[in-house]
Amino acid sequence: MIPQPLADTHDVVFDVEHITLRFGGVVSLNDVSMQMRRGEILAVIGPNGAGKTSLFNVLTGVYTPQEGRVLLRGRPGDSPVSVIGKKTHVINRLGVARTFQNIRLFPALTAIENVKVAVETRQKAGPLAAMLGMPWQRKEERDSTAAAYALMRDVGLGERGNELASSLAYGEQRRLEIARALGTNPGVLLLDEPAAGTNPQEKRELAELISRINRERNISVLLIEHDMKLVMSVADRIIVLNFGGKIAEGTPEEIQRNPAVVAAYLGTSAEDAARQATDQPELHLIDTQLEPPPTDEERSGD
């Protein structure tokens, strides 16, 4: 049994306890427990088939586990709410947004229209007000357009708003999907392999974007990613899954030298994994252009 880290329950976004998810005789998640703290970037890693996306799908209401519980405090000040059994759109309104391993944009819409779809989920005007052209609906339309363009600028796509989503480069489509997710005003953002298919320059830009979203918008980020360089560059903590179970949890430095993690990825014996964990060189990080986060003394003004 892996010891669970202690955390102030008022600062916990997701509180996952003993989740088990089965598909017939296949166990996708086996007694998984974890806590995500508000304001952090938490990465979930593991070999293919480890259960990472299944965990995301449990957290967002796509799958209902047979055992365990998941409590959510999506935004600061929210009371804890169980997400088990709730529809995905309800969980989204509670402050959870996500992107997908396979890009799910509306390809026939422009980039700005894709983002407006998300922004307008928070508006009050309905179809009747839109058909009648009511004044408050026209104001909401202007506001949603301005908010969507602001998000496009934030992800580096400010000049691409009128282009079809399908015409954007692959890395740009990844960033557009993040902008759309931000349009729902989330308290926590789940990113499922956002660096898949991107080149080194796009990975650097993505690392900077994830860090800025976390720091400037105070959005907690839960990240699934196979690119270890990206993970080690942005994550505050890492959870490792293998065969549906949690095998490790800690800082990037601790995880990099954990023999159980090395064994899971390389398929070596425990002895060989322990030796390789000790001898392996430090992983080079992505060189971002962001300033380091302020220290506690700087925040307090001392």
How do the domains of the chain map onto residue ranges?
A: 7-95+186-290, 105-185
Q: Which SS3 state, helix, strand or coil, does residue 204 take?
A: helix
pLDDT tens-place string over residues 45-80:
999 889 999 999 999 999 999 999 999 999 999 999
Identify the CA nearest to 58 among candidates 30, 26, 39. 30
Identify the CA nearest to 114 among candidates 169, 56, 47, 182. 182
Q: What is the largest CA-CA distance in the chain?
A: 72
pLDDT at 262: 83
pLDDT at 6: 45
Q: What is the model's pTM?
A: 0.82
Mean pLDDT of the chain: 85
Structure tokens at 175: 């960033």
In the block, residue with structure tokens 């480890």: 50
Q: Which SS3 state, helix, strand or coil, does residue 220 take?
A: strand
- CATH number given to 7-95+186-290: 3.40.50.300
Distance CA 135, CA 125 (A): 10
**In Å, how far are 45, 81, 223 from 178, measured between CA atoms?**
20, 25, 12
Distance CA 286, CA 196 (A): 16
User: pLDDT tier at 1 (50, 70, 90 boundaries)?
Assistant: very low
Structure tokens at 152: 């496009």
